[in-house]
Amino acid sequence: MSTTALDQVAAPEVDADRIREAMEYYWAKEWTDGLPVVPVTESYLNQFLAVVDRDPEEVLFTITHLNRHLTVRLAAINAALAGCLPEYFPVVLAAWEAIAKEPHPARGIWQSTTGTAPFLVVNGPIRNEIDLNSQGNIFGSGFRANATIGRAIRLGCINVFGLHPHKLDQATQGTPAKYSACIAENEEESPWPALHTEYGFDASDSVVTAYVIRSVMHIEARHTMEPEQLALDFVDSICRTGALIHEYTSALLVIVPEHAQVFASAGWSKDDLRDYVFEHAVRRRSELVAVGKDALSHKTRWRLSSEHPDSMPDTASTTTDEPDVVRVLSHRSSIQIMVAGANNAGVSAVVEIFTLNPPRENPFSYSQIGA
């Protein structure tokens, strides 16, 4: 909408000064993420609680070492503050339930100097019902559902668990995902089954999957129609030494429809791509020595130099043919694959995610919406 058009829109009959006073009051109470929040009344809160059949005092998620608990009511308050519509609240609720199954947040990783953040992927019919963006600019702005659902989680982190920067949140640099990180899968333009069906759900189910992420790296690959070449571009980004914090790393491949069709046209399934990435995601041990990451810490099991007094040998498996070559992925399930983005260019992404190493049988956390 142009500035001229904005000037012609009739403003609702409200007291703008009172709204600003409420916003400043919320800011003074540190109930925001730095951006203005929506003032919440009891009657407006009740609209959120009315769309779910849950006890408002039911505890959804606990961080034990902080002795703080998030209830359905508190989740609704923060969803309203974030700018969600009431019809988004079942997604927010399922997101918190998925997060509660993820082992890392409860252990304090959201407070980490590493700067991690929650990241949500939504599948199923709910995407279209509430206009969740799964196509162009998925990691960007412009869609209320994506922006506010992700923000509802961040505000819950701040307002319920006290994760304010420079205080309990000790991120050295952080990530833009600390504002909001919620995308939907572009199931309509994917040649493969949707992400949530790999967990045993039906395609008609609506599901939220929760991850802990560090960064999103874009892969520019407009140059090839060879699946092996394209897959090696993903491998190279996964294997960068800066990603090797622990013994192994993990990745969510967010593949645009154009790239997905390159693989599918060559007869590759998701599992074919996953197997290829797993087999080729390796580094020579001499390369790990060069950056001081050829061993593990006794205390943290983070990578460090074998010359460090706290070091112990890593147990990273080697390839059969070349014993000096070390795998950087512990298991094929350390690689997740989904399709999202516009079908207009060869630009995909590798999302760096945290998983248990070695992973459990199903290392990811998800919850069915409305179940």
Which residue is it, tokens 């600003």?
20
Give me the pLDDT at residue 4, please.
Answer: 52
Segment 133-138 mean pLDDT? 96
Q: Mean pLDDT over all residues of the chain?
A: 91
Residue 209 C-alpha from the chain's centroid? 8
Cβ(62)–Cβ(68) below 8 Å: yes
How far is it, in rounded angstroms, from Cα 163 to Cα 312?
33
Is residue 7 pLDDT above 90, yes or no?
no
Cβ(73)–Cβ(56) below 8 Å: yes
**pLDDT band, residue 1 (cuts 50/70/90):** very low
CB atoms within 10 A of CB 336: 22
Looking at the domain assignment, is residue 59 inside a domain?
Answer: yes
Is residue 351 pLDDT above 70, yes or no?
yes
Cβ(239)–Cβ(283) below 8 Å: yes
CB atoms within 10 A of CB 48: 27
Residue range(s) defining the domain that contains residue 355? 14-281+328-368
Segment 32-57 mean pLDDT? 97
* Total number of domains in the chain: 1
pLDDT tens, position by position, 248-289 = 899 999 999 999 999 999 999 999 999 999 999 999 999 999
Looking at the domain assignment, is residue 172 inside a domain?
Answer: yes
Looking at the domain assignment, is residue 307 inside a domain?
Answer: no
Looking at the domain assignment, is residue 191 inside a domain?
Answer: yes
Segment 119-123 mean pLDDT? 97
* 48-52, 271-275, 329-333, range with the lowest pLDDT: 329-333
* Token duo for residue 331: 């298991």
**pLDDT band, residue 295 (cuts 50/70/90):** very high
Looking at the domain assignment, is residue 257 inside a domain?
Answer: yes
pLDDT tens, position by position, 9-18 = 555 667 889 9
**pLDDT band, residue 114 (cuts 50/70/90):** confident
Give me the pLDDT at residue 246, please.
Answer: 85
Looking at the domain assignment, is residue 297 inside a domain?
Answer: no
Is residue 159 pLDDT above 80, yes or no?
yes
Is residue 3 pLDDT above 50, yes or no?
no
Looking at the domain assignment, is residue 309 inside a domain?
Answer: no
**pLDDT band, residue 314 (cuts 50/70/90):** confident
Model pTM greater than 0.75? Answer: yes
Is residue 146 pLDDT above 60, yes or no?
yes
How far is it, in rounded angstroms, from Cα 349 to Cα 360?
25
Looking at the domain assignment, is residue 135 inside a domain?
Answer: yes
